[in-house]
Amino acid sequence: MKAIIFVLIILLIISATAIVIAFLFTPLRRKITQKYEAGILLVTAALVLECFVSPLRGFVDMQTASIVGFFAYLFVTWYFLKRFGQYLGLYQTLVCIVLGQLLLTGFTHTIYFQQTLISLPDFLMHVLGIFAGYFFYNRKSILHKVNLSVSVLIILFTYFYGYSLWMHNLDFGSYSSEVYYKGPSHITLLDRNANGFVLKKGKITVLDFWFVGCGACMNDFPEFQKLYTDYKKDPNIQFLSVNQPYPRDMEVDRFKYLTDAGFNFPMAVTPDTGLINNLKISVYPTVIILDTDGNVIFKGNIKDATAKVKELL
């Protein structure tokens, strides 16, 4: 059934693309004499554009999809306003373009809002591109020149910084790794022999949470190993790699799993599922840093954690 739906969607995109090309970019195009025809064309063209730009999220990255989509919608909006603006009306033209863009991504973002938060900035940058096209069309106005400049600055900020901040917020619950909240009063940990593992009090504590099968966790372990190696002799700090067991983890010797990979930093397993909720961990790997009083002062990735440790020591 899914295959049939996929084929139908592809056929729809091909058909819509053919219609747009026939109207606009070939000698076969005919003069549009009815406003509803122009409206249908604009909606279809915007839908086709979104179908071609959106896959860049997966094939390249979100930042590229955002900046390409922004300038693509800017150009398309400017072109259609120039061609149909006086005939169809400026605002009606904009509504048709926005509607075409919303037909694909707006629907999914509304129905599956939480699941599509990762691509929300990309969606918003495409909408911004439509308005930037309007500002560019009316660029003789000082106000619209300012609006156009601001729009370009927003997309550049999103490309270089904004999306990273957005992802950090989704992954770790804040736009910055700098946090402060009370840590757990007791952390239940087990060593290789299933004996209790006790963290020393009065030290800065760096905890790296992971699970078996987490590719990103394995990619970050070399940097965690380097951080441990650099500071393992410092009496003011302690490091611990903490495995949060998933069903698959129970089938694997997690300690051997890491030592076979060449890592020798301290390791432990936590059977306490409430610990993850207490520390507000939602993605892996997550690095937590506790101050000497046990308060959480950092939550983020290993790269930022390395900088934080240097700052603290």
DSSP for the chain, written as a single string: -HHHHHHHHHHHHHHHHHHHHHHHTSTT-----SHHHHHHHHHHHHHHHHHHHTTHHHHT-HHHHHHHHHHHHHHHHHHHHHHHHHHH-HHHHHHHHHHHHIIIIIHHHHHTTTTTGGGHHHHHHHHHHHHHHHHHHTTTSHHHHHHHHHHHHHHHHIIIIIHHHHHHHHHHSSSSSEEEE---S----B-TTS-B--PPTTSEEEEEEE-TT-HHHHHHHHHHHHHHHHHTT-TTEEEEEEE---GGGGGS-HHHHHHTTT--S-EEE---HHHHHHTT--SSSEEEEE-TTS-EEEEE-HHHHHHHHHHH-
- Same domain for 91 and 202? no
Two tokens, residue 82: 């120039």
Residue 214, domain member (yes or no):
yes
Question: pTM of this prediction?
Answer: 0.77
As a whole-number percent, the residues of the chain with pLDDT over 70 amount to: 87
Predicted confidence (pLDDT) at residue 171 exceeds the cutoff of 80: yes
Which of these three, 117, 141, 172, is where a domain ends?
A: 172
| pLDDT, tens digit (0-9, with 9 covering 90-100), for 85-117 | 777 778 888 888 888 888 878 777 788 888 888
Q: Which domain holds residue 22?
A: 12-172
Q: How confident is the model at residue 244 (pLDDT cuts 50, 70, 90)?
A: confident
Do residue 199 and residue 107 come from a single domain? no
Report pLDDT for 23.
52
Pair 223, 244 in one domain: yes
Judged on CB neighbours under 10 Å (0-12, 13-18, 19+), 240 is buried
Give the count of domains, the chain.
Answer: 2
For the chain, give the mean pLDDT. 82
Q: Are residues 46 and 148 in the same domain?
A: yes
Q: Over 70: is that where the pLDDT of 29 sits?
A: no
**Structure tokens belonging to residue 302:** 């290993």
156 belongs to a structural domain: yes
Residue 7, in any domain of the structure: no
Does residue 28 surpass a pLDDT of 50? no
Q: Based on the domain organization, do 241 and 256 belong to the same domain? A: yes
Q: Which has the higher per-residue pLDDT, 116 or 71?
A: 71
Same domain? For 128 and 162 the reply is yes
